[in-house]
Structure formats: structure tokens, C-alpha cells
Structure 1
Amino acid sequence: MKLTEEQLKTFDELGYLYLPGCFNAEEVARLKAAAQDVFSEQREEIWREKNGVPRTAFACHKYNQTCNALVGDHRLVEPLEQLFGEQVYVHQFKINAKAAFTGEVWQWHQDFPTWHKDDGMPEPRAMNIAIFLDDVMPINGPLMIVPKSHKHGALQSSHDQQTTSYPLWTLDNDTVTKLVENNGIVTPTGKAGGVLMFHANIVHGSAGNITPYPRRIVYLTLSALSNAITNPTRPEFIAHTDFTPVTSASDGMDQQCLAALSS
């Protein structure tokens, strides 16, 4: 799936792009079932909120067939190959769950500073490309993005290990306030099956979810091959050191769904 010139221009200007309806209802149903299977397991790769509900399941493509089928899906791989101008490898794969009523916040941050400082990633030539497994609404803890904030590069940040189960290099309130004063905040929302991609230096975060509606998102983090990490300090299931290039397949999830339906 190639991006149009208009989409490329929008991404360059704003730092994010939302593509509705990329995955159909059957595919979403399979991914939801896979997420439920993954979160039912007790593994070190599954991190939980303070109350014990799942927050993030890392590297589930290593042991779940449906998640594995996503890794080479052309709808996720080709746009990043197009932007980076080269093949990509999987830096990270995870499912983030913001549970109904109890989903906690993600502080304001950029992704690249964490990848750079904790993993030794040289440049912001990697990004998250995300699939909505549930309808993402203004009320159930959607991702909040500061448009154009990627134009400022990697901003000064500090390591926050207190407020959530996942330590991040986070931004201070004054920095976020200044960025928001200039460019505002947007919340890309949409139906399950939509895809959101955003620049490694875009400033983003999300509030807690106190609604009855869960918000689960699959994140495939792909990096340019020339941008392989050099000094990982985190576990292999968080920052992968297998730099095998991803092979894009036009029928990855489609074939997975057909196999499931015929079994």
C-alpha cells in the first residue's frame, strides 16, 4: 500500500497520518481474539497496570500466529519503506490495552528519545504504525498528538519511572504548553480497523479511560535497516536485535483469516 503525494505531504507537515478502514471486520475480529488470547497468558513480556489488568504485551508476534501475520502486512510495511527509502526491520511489536474504567495515562513524550537513550538507535528513522482494534473515541483515552511537534527534533526529556508501569523519557509541562500554544492538540479517532502512523519525534500522550469502552491498539515499530540499534539496555522482547529485513506481503492477514475460517 503506497501513500499518495497528498498523504506524504500531510505526514511531512503534521507528523502523523490516519488511514481509516485499512483492516476489514474479519481481520479486526481475528486480531481482537488474538489480543484476548495474548492477555490471558502469564508471561514476563506482558506488563500490567497497578491493579493487575494488562497494559502492554510485548513481542506477541513471537508466539501468536495472528500477530505474526501482521509483521509483513503490506499496509503497514510499504508506507514506511516509502518514507525511509529502504527496507525495514521490526524494532518492537506490542499491543497496548487501555482497559475500560481503569486504563491509566501515558505521559507526554516522544518515542525517539527512549529508543535513542535506552536502545542506542542512531536517528529517528523508525516509527510506530498502529491498528485500532476497538473504536477509538474522544472519550475512551485516545492518543493525543501535538501536530508539527516533530519539526522540533528530539526535545529535552527526563526518565519518569513513577507514574506508570512503563518508564518513559517524558516532557515537562512547560515544554508541552509552549508546543500546544503554537499548534494545539488533535485526537485521531476512528473505527476499529483504522491505521495511525506518526513520526518518531511527534509529541503525544493519552489520558486515562474511565468509560465502559476499552481501547486496544496494535503497534508495529519498524526501523530503517541502516538505523539498527547499537547499544540496547532493555530486554530483547522490548528492543529486538534481529535486524532481518521484513518482507512485505500483500496477503498476510487475508491468508491468515482464510486459514482460520477453514480450520
Structure 2
Amino acid sequence: MKLSGQQLKDFDELGYIFMPDCFPPEAVALLQREAAVIFSEQREEIWREKSGAPRTAFACHQYNKAFALVASDSRLIEPLQQLFGEQVYIHQFKINAKAAFTGDVWQWHQDFPTWHADDGMPDARAMNIAIFLDEVMPINGPLMVVPRSHKSGALKSNHDKGTTSYPLWTLDNETVTRLVAENGIVAPTGKPGGVLMFHANMVHGSSGNITPYPRRIVYLTLSAVSNAIKNPTRPEFIAHRDFTPVRSENIDALVDYARAQNALAAAAALV
């Protein structure tokens, strides 16, 4: 799947694009079930809020077939090859959860300063692609972005190790206030299966979730192969060391797998 001329223009100007209904319902239903199983497990790759609620499941594409197919889906791989003009590798893969009533905040930040400081990523030639697994609403802690903030480049960040269970390089209130005054805040919302792509220097964050409506988002971080990290300090399941170019899979692969799993479940129910 290639981005259209208008999408490329919007990405360059705003720093993000949102594509509703990118993944079909069959595929989303499978991913929802598999995500629930993953978050029920006790693994070092699964981080939890201070309350104990699930926060992030790292690298689940390495042990779960459904998410492995997501990580190589051509809907996600080809647009980044188009933007970077070269092949890409997986820098990070995770599912972020905002549990009902207890999902904690993600402070205002840019992704590249963390990737640069913690992983030794040379340049901002990497990007997060977000796939909505649940409905993202204005009320249940949606991701908020500051349009055009990517044009400011990498901003000065401070290492916040105390606000949440996840250490993050964050922006100060004065910087965020200035950027929001210039560009406003947008919170892309939509049904499960929507996809949000945003620049590595896009300023973004999210508030806590005090509603009964949980929301989970898959994040696939792809980097240009020429932009491989140089000095990673975080575990391999957070910052991958395999720089092999991702092989783009057909968009039907995930649906075919979902149908096969549904058939197996139906057969098992008859036994």
C-alpha cells in the first residue's frame, strides 16, 4: 500500500496522517483476543502500571503469530519504505494499554529524543505506526498530538523516571505551552482497525483513563536500515538489535490466519 499524493502532503505539513478502517474486522477481532491473552501472562516483556494494571507488552511479535503478521503487514511497511526511500527494520514493537479506570498518563514527549538518548539512534528516520485495537474516544485517554510540532526538530528533553512506571524523556510545560499556542492539539479518534502514522519528532502524550472503556493500541516502530541504533542501553525486547529489513507480507495474510484460527476454534467447540 502506497500513500497518496495528498497523504504525503498532509504528513509533511502536519506530521501525521490517520487512516480509519485500515484493518478489517476479522483481523481486529483476532488481535483483540490475542492481546487479552498476552496481557494475562507474566513475562519480563510485559510492564505494568504502579497499580498493577497492564501498561505495555513489548516484542509480542516475537512469540505471537498474529502480531508477527502485523509487524510485516504491507499496509504498514510500504508507506515507510516510500517515505524513507529505503528498506526498514523493526526498532520496537509493543501494545500500549489504557486499562479502564486505572490507565496512567503518557507525559508530553517526542519519540526520537528517547530513541537517540537511550538507544543511540542517529537520526529521526524512524516512525511510530499506531493500530487501534479498541475504539479510541475523546474520553478514554486518546493519543494527543501537536500538529506541525515535528518542524521544530528534536527539542530539549528531561529524563522522567518517577511519574509513571515507564522512564521517558519528556518536555517541560513551557515548551508544550508554546507549541500548543502555535498549533493547537488534535486527538485522532476512531473505531478498531484505524491506523495513525506520525513523525518521530511529533510532540504527543495522553491523559489517564478514568472511564469504564479500556483502549489498547499496537505500536510498530520502523526505522530506515541506514539509521540502525549504535549504542543501545535498554533490553533487546525494547530496542531490537536485528537490523534485517522487514519482508512485506500480503495484506491478506492476517485475515487468512484469523479465518484459520476461527475454524480451529469452531472445530474444537464441536468436540
TM-score, normalised relative to structure 2: 0.96
2:50 is matched with 50
Q: What residue ranges of structure 1 are gaps of 5+ in the alignment?
A: none
1:151 is matched with 151
After TM superposition, give the deviation of residue 262 of structure 1 in Å. Answer: 2.8
Find the residue that maps to 1:107 and give its secondary structure.
strand
Find the residue that maps to 1:116 and give its secondary structure.
helix
After TM superposition, give the deviation of residue 249 of structure 1 in Å. Answer: 1.2
Q: Distance in 2 between matches of 1:74 and 1:19?
A: 14
Find the residue that maps to 1:197 and give its secondary structure.
strand
2:142 is matched with 142
1:207-226 aligned at under 5 Å gives the runs 207-226=207-226
Contact 2:138 2:187 in 1 (8 A): yes
Find the residue that maps to 1:163 and give its secondary structure.
coil
Q: Which amino acid aligns with 1:131?
A: I
Q: Which amino acid aligns with 1:134?
A: D
Q: Distance in 1 between matches of 2:120 and 2:175?
A: 24
Contact 1:146 1:183 in 2 (8 A): yes
Post-superposition CA distance 1:167-200 (Å, at most 9, x none):
1100000000000000000000011100001000
1:261 is matched with 262
Q: Structure 1 residue runs of 4+, over 4 Å off? A: none
1:174 is matched with 174
Q: Distance in 2 between matches of 1:2 and 1:259?
A: 28
1:65-84 aligned at under 5 Å gives the runs 65-84=65-84
Post-superposition CA distance 1:207-252 (Å, at most 9, x none):
0000110010000100000000000000000000001110111133
1:1-263 aligned at under 5 Å gives the runs 1-250=1-250, 251-263=252-264
Q: Distance in 1 between matches of 2:221 and 2:254?
A: 17
Q: Which amino acid aligns with 1:94?
A: K
Contact 1:132 1:195 in 2 (8 A): yes
Q: Which amino acid aligns with 2:263?
A: S
Q: Distance in 2 between matches of 1:261 and 1:52?
A: 31
TM-score, normalised relative to structure 1: 0.99
After TM superposition, give the deviation of residue 260 of structure 1 in Å. Answer: 1.2
Contact 1:72 1:252 in 2 (8 A): no
After TM superposition, give the deviation of residue 259 of structure 1 in Å. Answer: 2.1
Contact 2:132 2:193 in 1 (8 A): yes
Q: Percent identity?
A: 73
After TM superposition, give the deviation of residue 66 of structure 1 in Å. Answer: 0.8
Post-superposition CA distance 1:35-82 (Å, at most 9, x none):
001101100100000110110000001111111111110111111111
Q: Which amino acid aligns with 1:252?
A: A
Q: Which amino acid aligns with 2:31?
A: L
Number of residue pairs aligned between Structure 1 and Structure 2: 263
Find the residue that maps to 2:254 and give its secondary structure.
helix
Find the residue that maps to 2:33 and give its secondary structure.
helix
Post-superposition CA distance 1:93-147 (Å, at most 9, x none):
0000000111000000000000001000000000110100011000000001000
Find the residue that maps to 2:177 and give its secondary structure.
helix
Find the residue that maps to 2:7 and give its secondary structure.
helix
Find the residue that maps to 1:235 and give its secondary structure.
coil
